[in-house]
Chain A
Amino acid sequence: MASRSAPTSLRKRIRRKTPLLTMVSPVTVWMVILIAVPLAYVLLISFCSTDESHHIVFAFSVQNYVKLFDPTLLSIYGNSLLIAGLSCLISILVGYPFATIMANSSPFKRTLMMAFLMLPFWTNSLIRLYGWRSILGSNGFINSVLQELGLITQPLELLYNHFAVVLGMVYVLLPFMVLPIYTVILKLDHSLLEAASDLGARPARRFFKVTLPLTSSGIFAGSIMVFIPALGYFFVSNLMGGGTTQLIGNVIARQFKEAFNWPFGAALSIILILITLILVRAYTKTGGKMDDLGAM
Chain B
Amino acid sequence: MKAKTKTHQRLMAVVLSLIMVLTGSLLVACGGGGTSNSGSSSGGVSGGGGGGVSGGELNVFIWAEYLPDSVVTKFTEETGIKVNVSNYSSNEDLLAKVQSSNEGIYDVVVPSDYMVKMMAEEGLLEELDKDSLPNLSNLDTSFLDPSFDPGNTYSLPYMGGVAMIVYNKNVVTEPITGYEQLFDPQYANSIVALDDFRAVIGMTAKSLGYSLNTTDDAELAQVATRLEELKPNVRLLDSDSPKSAMLSGETSIGYMWNAEVAICQEEDDSFEAVFPSEGCYLFLDNLSVLKGAKNRENALKFINFILEPEVSKMISEEFPYLNPNKAAVALLPDSYRDNPVSNVPAEVIAKGEYVQDLGADVVKYDELWTEFTR
Contact = CB atoms under 8 A, between A and B. Distances in A.
Contact of B18 (A76, A121, A246, A259): A121
A183 B248 contact: no
Interface in B18-74: 18-19, 21-22, 25-26, 28-30, 33-36
Interface stretch (A8-16, A47-55, A145-153): A47-55
A125 B250 contact: no
Interface stretch (A20-28, A33-41, A232-240): A232-240
Contacts of B291: none
A187 B234 CA distance: 51
Nearest to A246: B373
A211 interface: no
Contacts of A139: 248-250
Interface in A45-79: 50-54, 70, 72-73, 75-76, 79
Nearest to B25: A125
Contacts of B369: 254
A179 interface: yes
Contacts of A278: none
A179 B11 contact: yes
Question: Chain A contact residues (Cβ within 8 angstroms of B): what range?
Answer: 35 or more
Interface stretch (B76-84, B175-183, B358-366): B358-366
Interface of B is mostly: helix
Given A138-B249, A257-B93, A244 B234 contact: yes
A229 interface: yes
Interface stretch (B150-158, B215-223, B235-243, B318-326): B235-243
Q: Determine which residue in B28, B36, B122, B373 has the highest number of CB atoms from chain A within 10 A of its CB, and name it.
A: B373
A259 B364 CA distance: 10
Contact of B363 (A118, A246, A259, A291): A259
B8 A183 contact: yes
Given A239-B34, A257-B92, A294 B250 contact: no
A242 B235 CA distance: 7
A138 B248 contact: yes
A235 B236 contact: no
B373 A182 contact: no
A124 B28 contact: yes
A123 to B, nearest CB: 9
Interface in A129-162: 130, 137-139, 157, 159-160
A176 B195 CA distance: 31
B248 A179 contact: no
A251 interface: yes
B14 A179 contact: yes
A261 interface: yes
Contacts of B195: 238, 243
Contact of B373 (A233, A243, A294): A243
A292 B11 CA distance: 10
Interface residues of B, number: 54
Contact of B30 (A118, A125, A179, A253): A253
Contacts of B237: 242-244
Contact of A242 (B96, B122, B236, B365): B236
Contact of A179 (B15, B22, B197, B235): B15
A175 interface: yes
A217 interface: no
Contacts of A251: 370
Given A75-B374, A187-B8, A251-B370, A257 B33 contact: yes
A255 B236 contact: no
Nearest to A140: B248
Given A183-B11, A294-B16, A126 B34 contact: yes
A255 B366 contact: yes
A250 interface: yes
Contacts of A244: 231, 234-237, 373
A242 B236 CA distance: 5
B366 A126 contact: no
A225 B12 CA distance: 13
B366 A76 contact: no
Contacts of B250: 137-139, 159
A122 B314 CA distance: 37
The 9 closest A-B pairs by CB, nearest first: A243-B237, A235-B29, A242-B236, A259-B366, A52-B359, A238-B34, A257-B92, A246-B373, A125-B25
15 contacts: A51-B360, A72-B367, A72-B370, A72-B371, A138-B250, A186-B8, A235-B26, A242-B236, A243-B237, A244-B234, A254-B369, A257-B96, A259-B362, A261-B366, A294-B15
